[in-house]
Chains A and B, each alone.
Chain A
Amino acid sequence: MQENQGQAADSRELLTFTLGSEEYGIDILKVQEIRGYDAVTTIANSPDFIKGVINLRGIIVPIVDMRIKFGLGNVTYNNLTVVIILNVASRVVGMVVDGVSDVIALTAEQLKAAPEFSGTMDTQYITGLGTVDDRMIIVVDIEKLMTSRDMDLVEMAAA
């Protein structure tokens, strides 16, 4: 981690969301907006966690359901279903989560390295574990995750 860059870089703001009973945090600067879940247009022969695409004010945005991808939470779609629209690697991607909880500031001391374990989410996408008021927040490198081969969202260079 590159935390020791003075006071300003010491704390960073995260948007936290829940998937099942777990709480995740992502860099708030990667978040474009938060909106409800609309009807999607399905994409043929895509993995089941890629719900399809929506029309977001004239741009076509793919929607990923993180609950299906990581097998967490109840996969239901109603007017409380939340989509976080992300701006990662100059792409716009929406992800469905159980709920958006908070915006928190996390200092370097509160962020601990993630232990090596094999969970549903590969530890290479986890920046660390943060502790805020006895809550454990899994801090995810969302850009790395969304552009990874696992998500199948980006064209891979390999033929």
Chain B
Amino acid sequence: MRAAHQGGNIVIEVTDDGAGLNRERILAKAKEKGIPISDSASDAEVWQLIFAPGFSTAAVVTDVSGRGVGMDVVKKNIEGIGGRVELSSRSGQGSTVTIRLPLTLAILDGLSVAVGDQIYIIPLSFISESLQPKSEDLKEISGQGQVVHVRGEYVPMVALHEVFGITPRVTNPADGILVLLEGEGKKVALFVDELLGQHQVVIKSLETNYRRVSGISGATIMGDGRVAMIMDVTAMIKMSQA
């Protein structure tokens, strides 16, 4: 077992000298469970299979072991706090599990955007690009809202002022800015009045003195002392798909 400090992360490595992961057994089990994977997949891809829920190659199942829950939970929880799990293994020589955790959970890279007189922070990790749409790229789908045409792709548009009930300064998307968000394999274009800048912000909980607010993951204090809300992008994407 080894722990190190690498960039902005804490890296924890757990190594054993056991039998290692058995590629053939994992592949056979994946086929049995109907998980599509080719025989020529790389080792890294094969090892990822053991994180699938309910995946186990154990021959003997006891009350607690071998049910395929453990690794799934490990991965979910670590990713939940912004970390990553990697796995490497050599047959007959052992396996290494590498866990990377962000050093501070409290600092976030974000883009500040303005809507009306309010400022919101969008976590940078979800943003793929921002653009000023041409009015011919904006299309209406009856009863479904608007989509925007971005390089051959139609992306649903969400107006932040509608979601949060704010009076905006800009009502026509062609006069504002669209921020393209990507999360959980889905894309959504968020319509805001303007972009303000990039910041590293300290996350403050809203729950300490208030309660959870849907669409908001926390708050922060800006340089001028004002409070800005940090957007919960995953929730926002879910809202747009509902």
Contacts and interface: CB of A to CB of B under 8 A. Distances in A.
B64 to A, nearest CB: 29
Interface stretch (B41-49, B66-74, B137-145, B203-211): B203-211
A41 B165 contact: no
Contacts of A61: 209
Nearest to B213: A43
Interface stretch (B146-154, B188-196, B220-228): B220-228
A39 interface: yes
Specify the main secondary structure of chain B where it touches its partner: loop
Contacts of B214: 45
B206 A41 contact: no
A92 interface: yes
B204 A41 contact: no
Contacts of B211: 152-155
Given A41-B227, A42-B118, A53 B210 contact: yes
A155 B207 contact: yes
Interface in A30-66: 39-46, 52-55, 58-62
A74 to B, nearest CB: 23
B219 A41 contact: yes
B121 to A, nearest CB: 11
B212 interface: yes
10 contacts: A41-B118, A44-B229, A53-B227, A58-B221, A60-B206, A60-B208, A61-B209, A152-B211, A154-B211, A155-B207
Interface of B: 118-119, 163-166, 204-216, 219, 221, 225-229
